[in-house]
């Protein structure tokens, strides 16, 4: 009986063990072979850090826009509920 026949008999008799061995084989193969290949590729260039004033200005604009949108939403809810018809943005 050849090696392949013995392997087939083993897989039929012990499918869980055979599947575990297959999964373990992949677990050993992938880090040992794929990782060095990925490490050999050139990494991306580092992105320069933006100036702090740009971040603060962006945050202020986004916060202002969010508050304006929130005010419009509150106004629409008040109008739909009928509890207040006037514009809450004074």
Name the domain count of the chain. Answer: 1
Higher pLDDT, 36 or 71: 36
- Whether 60 maps to a domain, the answer reads no
Q: Identify the pLDDT of residue 69.
A: 62
Instruction: Return the axis-axis angle of helices 15-29 and 3-13, rounded to nearest 10°.
Output: 110
- Whether 25 maps to a domain, the answer reads yes
Q: Identify the pLDDT of residue 71.
A: 58
Tell me the helices (H) and strands (E) count for the chain, helix number first: 4, 0
- Whether 18 maps to a domain, the answer reads yes
Percentage of residues in the chain with pLDDT exceeding 90? 17
Q: How much is the average pLDDT of 54-74?
A: 68
- Whether 19 maps to a domain, the answer reads yes
Domain that holds residue 25: 3-40
- Whether 24 maps to a domain, the answer reads yes
- Whether 13 maps to a domain, the answer reads yes
pLDDT per residue as tens digits for the range 15-47: 999 999 999 988 888 888 888 888 888 777 777
- Whether 21 maps to a domain, the answer reads yes
- Whether 77 maps to a domain, the answer reads no
pTM equals 0.38
- 62 vs 43, 66, 90, CA distance in Å? 33, 6, 20
């Amino acid at each position: 009986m050849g090696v392949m026949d013995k392997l087939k008999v083993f897989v039929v008799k012990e499918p869980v063990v055979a599947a575990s061995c297959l999964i373990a084989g992949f677990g050993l193969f992938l880090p040992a072979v794929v990782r060095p290949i990925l490490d050999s590729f050139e990494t991306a260039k580092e992105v320069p850090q933006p100036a702090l004033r740009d971040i603060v200005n962006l945050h202020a604009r986004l916060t202002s826009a969010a508050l304006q949108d929130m005010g419009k939403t509150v106004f629409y809810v008040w109008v739909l509920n009928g509890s207040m018809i006037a514009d809450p943005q004074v």
